A and B are shown apart, each in its own frame.
Chain A
Amino acid sequence: MEASTMNALYGGLIIGLSATLLFALAGRIAGISGIVTAAIKPGSDRAWRWLFIVGLLLGGFAYHYFSGAPAPQLARQSYWLAIAGGLIVGIGVRRGSGCTSGHGVCGIARFSKRSIVSTVVFMGAGIVTATLVNILLGAF
């Protein structure tokens, strides 16, 4: 297999290990959108969530520091796409109760019917959208 494919597999295994730690030791689901929402809204139990978010940035930094891999360039440079994409992702993950991590990595592992449906639907919507943007704006 190519190096990039192996990287994807290793990265996936590490993500699985992370979700395992959080669930088996702390009893919490590693769902990023849920963690972020509870971190930014008033409420209790926010500290561990903020630490998880800080960890997300530290971990990414550690990867690039130790591997020497360069920072990736953005495929789409448009600020309008960034604003529209961000707003729609934010509304969608709340309305649909989760994203790639909570539904895709943790929910499917729990054999949750909701998570399986959600993952199939957001993958499909992502494929249709990316394809339409390629047609309208040209491939990235």
Chain B
Amino acid sequence: MTRLIALVAGILFGFGLAFSGMTDTHKVLGFLSIFHDWDYDLTFVMGGALIITTLTFQWTMKHGETLLGGNLHLPSACDLDPKLVSGAILFGVGWGLFGYCPGPALTALIYLEPQTVVFVVSMLIGILAHDFFATLSKQSQ
């Protein structure tokens, strides 16, 4: 059942990303360029999504389980730490360089632009490299 739900949710998510303009790096970089002819459209993407998720997530968490009676898988970390902030800085820098965050980059693979493929492969290498070195440094402690 989780697989079917994930496929449907993925299709909706990708549809929403392309619909909203998040897969268009002109829109994304225009949104991030607040000092240069700011394109504010994309504020409505997170805004629109949050109108719905704030209601449904709060309700589901109060309910304590999924509508099908399954467990809610929630992140365990709740404290602020330097890694969270430095990670967010790095992510923001990479986002501002090319104009894609992870979801839109994956959806944009359908446009078959070689630079986008290079971006996604580099992102996967970055993910694996981070986790490899994080495991190494944990083992050496």
Q: For residue A131, which residues in chain B have a CB less than 8 angstroms away from its CB?
A: 32-36, 96
CB distance from A116 to the nearest CB of B (A): 10
The secondary-structure label for the interface of chain A is: helix
A17–B8 CA distance with the chains assembled, in angstroms:
11
Q: For residue B123, which residues in chain A have a CB less than 8 angstroms away from its CB?
A: 86-87, 89-90
CB distance from A96 to the nearest CB of B (A): 2
B92 near A92: Cβ-Cβ < 8 Å: yes
Number of chain A residues whose Cβ lies closer than 8 Å to a Cβ of chain B: 112
A27 near B90: Cβ-Cβ < 8 Å: no
A69–B72 CA distance with the chains assembled, in angstroms:
37
A126–B50 CA distance with the chains assembled, in angstroms:
20
A112–B57 CA distance with the chains assembled, in angstroms:
11
**Interface size, B (range):** 35 or more
A25 near B93: Cβ-Cβ < 8 Å: no
A51 near B3: Cβ-Cβ < 8 Å: yes
The secondary-structure label for the interface of chain B is: helix
CB distance from A127 to the nearest CB of B (A): 5
Selected contact of A54 from candidates B7, B24, B58, CB within 8 Å: B7
Apart from A75-B28, A126-B95, 5 more pairs, CB < 8 Å: A16-B49, A97-B75, A125-B90, A128-B93, A130-B29
A-B residue pairs in contact (CB < 8 Å), sample of 30: A4-B41, A12-B16, A20-B53, A23-B57, A25-B67, A26-B9, A29-B75, A36-B106, A47-B3, A54-B10, A55-B14, A64-B110, A72-B27, A75-B26, A78-B115, A79-B114, A79-B115, A83-B122, A85-B122, A90-B127, A91-B127, A94-B131, A97-B83, A105-B46, A109-B57, A126-B92, A131-B34, A132-B96, A139-B37, A140-B26
The 8 closest A-B pairs by CB, nearest first: A55-B10, A90-B126, A96-B87, A11-B20, A12-B48, A125-B92, A59-B14, A86-B122
Binding site for B on A (CB under 8 A): 2, 4-5, 7-30, 32-33, 36-37, 40-41, 47-49, 51-64, 67, 69, 71-79, 81-97, 99-101, 103-114, 117-119, 121-134, 139-140
